[in-house]
């Protein structure tokens, strides 16, 4: 049978005496944590997309530069 002890100084935390794990038994705090995590993951995905876009622009500018150099050198 699992027995839980309150963690001193943390109202929403308990310790499982069988495994020694610290568990959050405050549903509201857990939902806030999940929302924060989802926002962070969405931000990482957005940053990744921006990085990809910037790299594509850099490659296209390099292509334009090369074409301009070829155009100038043929005159």
What pLDDT digit, counting tens, does each position of 16-38 carry?
999 999 999 999 988 999 999 99
Domain enclosing residue 25, as ranges: 4-73
- What is the tens place of the pLDDT at every residue in 52-63? 999 999 999 999
- Burial class of 58 by CB neighbour count within 10 A (0 to 12, 13 to 18, 19+): exposed
Beta-bridge mates of residue 7:
10
pTM, two decimals, is: 0.62
Cα-based distances in Å from 20 to 9, 16, 17, 38? 17, 5, 5, 28
The count of domains in the chain is: 1
Integer Cα distance of 69 and 11 in angstroms = 68
Average pLDDT, the chain: 94
pLDDT score, position 74: 84
């Amino acid at each position: 049978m699992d027995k839980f002890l309150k963690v001193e100084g943390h109202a929403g935390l308990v310790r499982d005496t069988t495994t020694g794990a610290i568990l959050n038994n405050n549903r509201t705090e857990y939902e806030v944590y999940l929302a924060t995590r989802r926002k962070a993951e969405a931000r990482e995905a957005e940053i990744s997309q921006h990085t990809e876009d910037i790299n594509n622009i850099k490659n296209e500018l390099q292509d334009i530069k090369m074409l301009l150099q070829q155009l100038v050198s043929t005159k």
